[in-house]
Amino acid sequence: MTEHVVIVGGGTGGTVLANDLADRLKPEIAAGDVRVTLVNDDPDHVYKPVWLYVPFGQREPDDGRRPLSELVDDAIDLQIDRVSDIDTGSQQLQFSGSSTSVDYDYLVLATGSTLEPSHIPGLAEGGYNYYSESGATALREELLEFTEGELVLSVIGTPHMCPAAPLEFVFMADDWFRERGLRDDVDITYTYPVQRVHGNPHIAEWAQPIMDDRGINVETLFNAESVDPEAETITSMEGTDLDYDLLVTIPPHAGIDLIEEAGLGDDGWVDVDKHTLEAEAAENVYALGDTADTGVPNAGSVAHYQASVVGQRLASELRGRPPTATYDGKTLCFIETGLNAASFVEFDYESPPSPAPPSQKLHWSKLAYNESYWLTARGLL
Amino acid sequence: MTDIEPDATVDARGAACPGPLMDLIGKIRSAESGDVIRLLSDNDQSLTDVPEWTEEAGNELLAVDELDDYNAFYVEKA
Ligand SMILES: Cc1cc2nc3c(=O)[nH]c(=O)nc-3n(C[C@H](O)[C@H](O)[C@H](O)COP(=O)(O)OP(=O)(O)OC[C@H]3O[C@@H](n4cnc5c(N)ncnc54)[C@H](O)[C@@H]3O)c2cc1C
C-alpha cells in the first residue's frame, strides 16, 4: 500500500521539506511505496524577505517570485489549490477548487502567517506595510513622495514574521533619508508593545543605543488600539496618541482559520511539541515554520531547519523506525542596520543571541543569501 | 490563593517572553470592561512585565498566585 504524505503550504518550509523528502525517500517514491503531495494556493513560490527592499526601490516584488514547478522536484505531486477543510479524525483534506477530498497518512502544515489589519479599526485605511507584495509597492510610492513630517513605524503585536524586520526598516529609512539630504525634515518614531524595543532582551539591549545615536524616537508599551486616518493619529491601549504623516505598521498576524477549526491550536497557530514538531491535538500531523507554535521567531531560517527535522522524522516513520531527529530552536538572522551595513544573530532554545558588530561584509552576506535563496528552496543549500 | 472567578484564562506556560504578556494583551483587547482575565505563565519576566503593563494601560492587577512551577495573574479590564 502506498503511504501518502501531504504537505500544505509551498512557502519556505513546505518547499524545502518537499525537496528534502524527494531526496531522502527517493527509492520508496520510485517504488511507489510512498507518495508526497505538496499543495499550495498560488502557482508561485514567494520569498518574502525581498519586500523589505521594495519600499526603498532596491528590489522588485518579482525578484521574490518563482514558479513552484521550477523549484520542486519532479518526484513530488504538486497541486495548486487551497485546502478548505482539515479533518484529523478521518485523516482527510478538502480543497476549495474541487469537490474531491484526499486521504493522508501523514500531514504537514506549513501554511505560514496571515495579516489581519481588520483587528485594529482604521488600520487598513490609515496604515502602510511592507509585509505583503501590494503593501510594499504602495509604500514605495508613498515614501518617494514623503519629504518631510512624522514617519511612525508601529509594531502591532507579536508574533509577527521576522522580528528583526521592524528594526531593519527604521535603520534603513534613517540612512535613506540621510543619503537624500532629508533626514532633518523627517522625524522617525518606532513603537513596540512591550517595555523595550524588541521582544528578545539581548537584541533590545543592542538595538536601543543604535536608535538613540540615530535620533530614532522610541515609544515602548505601545499597543495600537485604533487608527484615525482622517486626523492621522494612532492611539494605544495604554492611552498614548501619536500624530503621523506616514504610518507604517507591522499588522496583527494570525495563522489560517482552518487550523483553529480543526482544533489544532488558537489563532491559527498549531500547538506542537517544540522539539519534535508533532501536533499536540492529533496523530500523524506535523507543523513547521510560522504556523508551528514553538515560541521561536517566525523566520525563514527556522522553517528551513524545521523542514529538515520533519523530513528526517517522516523518513524514519515511513521506514518503520522510531524517529529521533529533534529541533533545538536554531534561528539565524541577518539584521540590516542601514543601507550598507548589517548585523547577524544566531541562537537556540538554550543559548541567547549576541548580535555581531554591524559591518558592510554582513550586509553583503545578507544580499548574497537573498540571491542564493533559490538554491535553499530547491534543497541544494 | 485567591478565590477570584476569572471570565477567561490564557495559558501561556512554556512561552518565552514577550509571549505571555502579548497573549494577555491579546485577550484583554477582545474582553469587555470589568472582565477578569487569568494569565498562567512560568516565565519569571512576567512578574515584572505584567504589573508594568497593567499599570501603564490602566487595568488592575487584582492578584498574583505564586504556584509551584508557574504564576497565575488576575487582571481586570478597565
Ligand atoms: C518583510 C519580511 C522580511 C522578512 N525577512 C526575513 C529574513 O531576513 N530572514 C528570515 O529568516 N525570515 C524573514 N522573513 C520571514 C519569512 O519570510 C517567513 O518566516 C517564512 O516565509 C515562513 O515560512 P513558512 O513556510 O512557514 O510560510 P510561508 O513562506 O509564508 O508559506 C506559506 C505558504 O502556504 C500557503 N497557504 C496558506 N494557506 C493555505 C491553504 N489553506 N492551502 C494551500 N496553501 C496555503 C501560502 O500561500 C504560502 O505559499 C521575512 C518576512 C517578511 C514579511
pLDDT above 90: residue A285:
yes
B40 to chain A, any CB pair closer than 8 A? The answer is: no
C-alpha cell at A273: 511539541
Q: Report residue B58 CA to chain centroid gap.
A: 14
The type of residue at A219 is E
Distance from CA of A220 to the nearest CA of B (A): 10
Q: Are B2 and B62 in contact (CB under 8 A)?
A: yes
C-alpha cell at A297: 521567531
Q: What's the predicted TM-score (pTM) here?
A: 0.96
| Confidence label for A314 from pLDDT (cuts 50, 70 and 90) | very high
Among A139, A161, A167, A256, residue to substitute to test ligand 1 (most atoms within 8 Å of Cβ): A161
Residue bearing cell 554591524: A358
Which of B25, B28, B33, B50 would you mutate first to test chain A, the one with the most A CBs within 10 A?
Answer: B25
Average pLDDT over residues A359-375: 97
Handedness of CA B47, B50, B56, B61 (dihedral sign): negative
Reported ipTM: 0.92
Chain A residue nearest residue B58, CA to CA: A238
Q: Which residues line ligand 1 (CB under 6 A)?
A: A 8-14, 39-42, 48-49, 51-52, 82-83, 110-112, 130-131, 161-162, 165, 256, 258, 289-291, 298-301, 303, 333
- The DSSP letter of residue A112 is -
Residue A359 φ then ψ, to 5°: -150, 165
pLDDT digits (tens, 9 = 90+) for A185-217: 999 999 999 999 999 999 999 999 999 999 999
pLDDT computed for residue A100 by the predictor: 83
Which atom belonging to ligand 1 lies closest to the Cα atom of A366? 8
pLDDT above 80: residue A301:
yes
Give catalytic status of residue B17 as yes or no.
yes
pLDDT computed for residue A102 by the predictor: 96
pLDDT above 90: residue B2:
no
pLDDT digits (tens, 9 = 90+) for A104-159: 999 999 999 999 999 999 999 999 999 999 999 999 999 999 999 999 999 998 89
Distance from CA of B37 to the nearest CA of A (A): 16
A-contacting residues of B 45-74, CB under 8 Å?
Answer: 45, 49, 52-53, 56-58
What are the CB-based long-range contacts (under 8 Å, 24+) for A61-68?
A61/A133, A61/A136, A61/A137, A64/A133, A66/A374, A66/A377, A67/A43, A68/A10, A68/A15, A68/A38, A68/A40, A68/A42, A68/A43, A68/A44
Q: DSSP labels for A8-47?
A: E--SHHHHHHHHHHHHHTHHHHHTTSEEEEEEESSSEEE-
C-alpha to C-alpha distance for A78 and A81, rounded to whole angstroms: 9
pLDDT computed for residue A381 by the predictor: 78
pLDDT computed for residue B14 by the predictor: 85
> Would you report the helix, strand and coil content of chain B in percent, each value rounded to 5?
30, 30, 40
Q: Are A103 and A92 in contact (CB under 8 A)?
A: yes
Percent of chain A with pLDDT over 70: 100
Average pLDDT over residues A236-252: 97
pLDDT above 80: residue B1:
no
CA angle B20, A125, A185 (to 5 degrees): 90
| Confidence label for B18 from pLDDT (cuts 50, 70 and 90) | confident
- Is cis: bond before A121, omega within 30 of 0? no
C-alpha to C-alpha distance for A140 and A116, rounded to whole angstroms: 21
C-alpha to C-alpha distance for A340 and A327, rounded to whole angstroms: 33
The type of residue at A253 is H
